[in-house]
Amino acid sequence: MPPRAPRAPRPELPLVARARAHADRTAIAAADGTFTYRELLDASAGVATCLLAGRADLAEARVAFLAPAGFRHVATQWGIWRAGGVAVPLAVSHPPPELEYVIRDAEAEIVVVHPDLAGSLEGVRLPPAVHTVTTHEAVGTTPHSPLPGVAEGRRAMMVYTSGTTGRPKGVVTTHANLAAQVTSLVAAWEWRADDHILLVLPLHHVHGIVNVLTCALWSGARCEMLPHFDAVSVWSRLAAGELTLFMAVPAIYTKLIAAWEAAPPERRREYSAGCAPPRMRLMVSGSAALSVGTLERWRDISGQVLLERYGMTEIGMALSNPLRGARRPGFVGAPLPGVEVRLVDDAGRLAAAGAPGEIEVRGPAVFLEYWRQSDATAAAFRDGWFRTGDVAVIENGAYRILGRRSVDIIKTGGYKVSALEIEEVLRTHPAVLECAVVGVDDAEWGERVCAAVELRGSGELTLAALQAWAKQRLAPYKVPRALRCVRALPRNAMGKVMKPDVAALFRSAGSA
């Protein structure tokens, strides 16, 4: 019998292969303990074995998971990847209807849930075929090899994002997309194994998942996690003087500034000293526009000039101020390594020099597709370029974001929400005949979600009652923060609601 040809080596994900080189370094420090890369490799192999349940490969089955930031969250994410599945992170803050929507839309085959959050799933009507498992069972499974090889072109993750049409869409990224997003930032911001970052962002969006967690783990760095954002806890970790990196949305910097201002002088000195270079080497802001006032106040407090960058779920990060060299307040810098960016006019022609245009992005970091929405995917691209819907201008080589093409996209606290999606839910309230939701500029949150409502008959509605009702149905950051009950919404001659006039209702009367 002729000798058997040696088997081709199974492709191992670069993130996993790289972790082997850092086996004894600390990967995660969180409420559930401090863990090395070796422990992460072992635990994620256990998760993969559990999810596979005897199969050779999950073959891109979607695995939704609901776990607080911590070791088990990360071990589950890696375990899904190592088993050949698609990781669908669920938001710890979401009420049952939002969780159910994602689980059903993604057609998740398995839901992994942390026991502390099992209550959140109680109100979720899971399709009968869905199999649930706890993070503890999964992490505690004895790993057995071999795990499947996972080629880089395969689907890796689905993050849900709101758009101008319909309900949130699953943004599908491949392992190659994720690697491109990560390597671009690792190069631009010079991530290294002795970096130590504090994660305070939610783990159902790319800012937390890619820019903080995955960049850290790709680099052999230490990712320390807080279960949720709390300004005083963040300041005390900064004050300890151990961190080298910090990344957050502008609303978080605003809250940190307020907490610093509320602290006694001695504490303020400790807080500020903890941000001092060279140990703290980079503080980044993104996901929403950083006001020059916040940048300047942060510089006064911390001595750090925030690096502002621009990105999107579909593309990872596209534009960044430089790590070395001058950072221009009010600007988001230039294209990151491996990312092509252009500005185009309404007809899709390159914008004239100095003229505003829509940002379009191309490159290996750009997502594969919206899950099961081929029309929306096709509409999102023009000649191979992804259309972001954001408008910018280039001045002296740096991009400045001017706004968005659609009034129906709101950014609040760094979260993107769709006015239309909120309106659709509000219309199901028994007292609401018609409504219009707008984002109103706000110094603390960037924009606040505000709702103008035409009531049915002689009904009454208070903001508190609407909020209590909406919280059961919508993510907390989609719940309206101000309400105006009007006899008739402002409409044009065609009967279309005029959103700028709706927003004016809130500006003129203050918020409440």
Applying CB under 6 A, the residues found at the interface with ligand MLC are 201-202, 205-208, 228-229, 249, 251-252, 286-287, 311-313, 412-415, 445, 448, 476-477, 481
CB-based contacts of 248: which residues, under 8 Å, 6+ apart?
A: 200, 201, 256, 284, 285
168 belongs to the binding site for ligand AMP (CB under 6 A): no
288 binds ligand AMP (CB under 6 A): yes
User: Which of 226/401 has CB closer to ligand AMP?
Assistant: 401
Q: Give the shortest CB-231-to-ligand AMP separation in angstroms.
A: 21
Closest to 335 measured CA to CA, from 221, 185, 505, 172: 185
Residue 431: DSSP 8-state: T
| Residue 390 contact among ligand AMP, ligand MLC, none, beta carbon within 5 to 8 Å by kind | ligand AMP
* Site mask for ligand AMP (CB under 6 A), range 136-165, x = bound: -------------------------x----
- Tokens 């219009």 belong to 436
Residue closer to ligand MLC, measured from CB, 41 or 307: 307
Contact 38, 234 (CB under 8 A): no
Among 32, 195, 390, 408, binds ligand AMP (CB under 6 A): 390
Positions 408 through 447 that interact with ligand AMP (CB under 6 A): 411, 416
Sites for ligand AMP among residues 290-309 (CB under 6 A): 308
| HEC-encoded secondary structure of 68-115 | CCCHHHHHHHHHHHHCCCEEEECCCCCCHHHHHHHHHHCCCCEEEECH
Q: For the CB of residue 222, give the shortest distance to ligand AMP in the complex, in Å.
A: 26
How far apart, in Å, are the Cα atoms of 477 and each of 222, 278, 413, 484?
29, 36, 8, 19
Q: Which of 73, 155, 404, 484 binds ligand AMP (CB under 6 A)?
A: 404
Dihedral of CA 19/190/76/114: which sign? Answer: positive
User: Minimal CA–CA distance to 19: which of 223, 199, 155?
Assistant: 223
Tokens of 304: 């750090």
Interface mask toward ligand AMP for 198-227; x: CB under 6 A: ------------------------------
Residue 94 interacts with which of ligand MLC, ligand AMP, none, CB < 5 to 8 Å by class: none
User: Whole-angstrom distance between the N-terminal and C-terminal Cα of the chain?
Assistant: 83
* Residue 316 engages ligand AMP in binding (rule: CB under 6 A): no
Distance CA(285)–CA(306), nearest Å, equals: 6
User: Which partner, ligand AMP, ligand MLC, none, binds residue 308 by CB below 5 to 8 Å per kind?
Assistant: ligand AMP
Q: Which is nearer to ligand MLC, 302 or 412 (CB)?
A: 412
Q: Does 94 engage in binding with ligand AMP (CB under 6 A)?
A: no
Contact 422, 437 (CB under 8 A): yes
Of 224 and 390, nearer to ligand AMP (C-beta) is 390
Concatenating the DSSP letter of every residue in 438-469 gives EEEEETTTEEEEEEEEEESTT----HHHHHHH
Piece in contact with ligand AMP (CB under 6 A), picked from 45-53, 286-294, 469-477, 489-497: 286-294
Q: Does 286 bind ligand AMP (CB under 6 A)?
A: yes
Query: Token digits for 392?
Result: 């910018």
Residue 142 near residue 46, CB atoms below 8 Å: yes
- Shortest distance in whole angstroms from residue 322 CB to ligand AMP: 15
Q: Which is nearer to ligand AMP, 44 or 320 (by Cβ)?
A: 320
Contacts of 232 (CB under 8 A, 6+ apart): 259
Task: Output phi, psi for 174, to 5 deg.
Answer: -90, 170
Least Cβ distance, residue 85 to ligand AMP (angstroms) = 23
Closest separation between CB of residue 466 and ligand MLC, Å? 13
Strands 169-174 and 369-370: antiparallel
By C-beta, is 202 or 333 nearer to ligand MLC?
A: 202
Nearest to 150 by CA among 21, 17, 269: 17
Residue 113 binding ligand AMP, by CB under 6 A: no
Quick one: which of 26, 177, 219, 313 contacts ligand AMP (CB under 6 A)?
313
From the list ligand AMP, ligand MLC, none, pick the one residue 481 interacts with, judged by a Cβ distance below 5 to 8 Å according to partner type: ligand MLC
Rounded-to-integer distance, Cα 302 and Cα 298, Å: 6
* Contact of 104 with 127, CB cutoff 8 Å: yes
For the CB of residue 247, give the shortest distance to ligand MLC in the complex, in Å: 9
Helix/strand/coil for 285: strand
Tokens of 160: 């849900």
Is residue 46 a contact residue for ligand AMP (CB under 6 A)?
no
CB of 200 to ligand MLC, least distance (A): 7
Give which of ligand AMP, ligand MLC, none residue 289 binds (C-beta under 5 to 8 Å, depending on kind): ligand AMP
Token pair of 54 as six digits:
């005897």
Contacts of 63 (CB under 8 A, 6+ apart): 51, 80, 83, 85, 86, 87, 88, 108, 109, 110, 111, 112
| CA–CA separation, 30 and 217 (whole Å) | 14
Nearer to ligand AMP, 120 or 287 (CB): 287
- Position among 212, 401, 451, 479 found at the interface with ligand AMP (CB under 6 A): 401
Total residues at the site for ligand AMP (CB under 6 A)? 17
Dmax of the chain from CA atoms? 89
In the complex, the smallest distance separating the C-beta of residue 168 from ligand AMP, rounded to whole angstroms, is: 10
Residue 446 C-beta: closest distance to ligand MLC, Å:
8
Site for ligand AMP, rule CB under 6 A: 161, 286-289, 308, 310-313, 332, 388, 390, 401, 404, 411, 416
